[in-house]
């Protein structure tokens, strides 16, 4: 971050927030939007702002789901609880969030067709601005173009909360 004197510790924190959580992506997202790391003095200070959209991007070939339907879940919580953590961080404004998921094969890009086992797919579709792509496609370019278009649409309608 600009003006940060301890770049090594800052990078370590940001890398943990953004790149850890294998098989626990819902839980990692919930941790990333909590006050302690985002408030003044936190290692992610200034990232989560009231005057900006939040774009959540998942890129994983190991979605937050068990390998078999009867195995225990990997992340603590449910897609609805993870969504609520994001909504709480954005003051209840679902339209200030863009969700982009490049993930498992069980997540088709069609609304309402998610496998009950792909919890990231379920989470992603809980927000009005979302796009999902199968991690096995040959080219992610079109998915990134679509996600960027969603950011532009969300931004056009975004009004920051007063204060």
* Res 2: pLDDT: 45
Name, of 12-21, 37-46, 88-97, the range with top average pLDDT.
Answer: 88-97
pTM exceeds cut of 0.75 = yes
For 64-82, give one letter per residue: b (16+ CB within 10 A) or e.
bbeeeeeeebbbebebeeb
Range among 11-20, 44-53, 72-81, 109-118 with highest mean pLDDT value: 44-53
Average pLDDT value for residue range 6-26 = 59
Give Dmax over CA atoms of the chain in angstroms.
49
pLDDT of residue 28: 86
Percent of the chain whose predicted confidence (pLDDT) is above 90? 37
Quick: pLDDT tens for 31-75.
889 988 888 888 888 888 889 999 999 888 766 665 556 666 678
Domain boundaries, the chain: 49-156
């Amino acid at each position: 971050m600009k003006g940060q004197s301890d770049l090594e510790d800052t990078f370590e924190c940001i890398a943990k927030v953004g790149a850890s959580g294998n098989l626990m992506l819902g839980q990692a997202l919930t941790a990333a939007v909590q006050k302690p790391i985002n408030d003044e003095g936190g290692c992610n200070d200034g990232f989560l702002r009231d005057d900006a959209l939040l774009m959540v991007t998942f890129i994983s070939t190991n979605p937050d789901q068990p390998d078999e339907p009867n195995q225990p879940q990997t992340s603590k919580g449910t897609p609805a609880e993870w969504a609520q953590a994001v909504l709480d961080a954005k003051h209840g404004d679902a339209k200030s969030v863009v969700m982009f998921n490049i993930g498992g094969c069980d997540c088709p890009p069609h609304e309402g067709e998610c496998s009950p086992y792909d919890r990231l797919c379920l989470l992603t579709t809980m927000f009005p601005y979302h796009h999902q792509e199968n991690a096995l496609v040959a080219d992610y370019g079109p998915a990134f173009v679509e996600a960027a278009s969603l950011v532009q649409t969300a931004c056009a309608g975004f009004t920051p909360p007063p204060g």
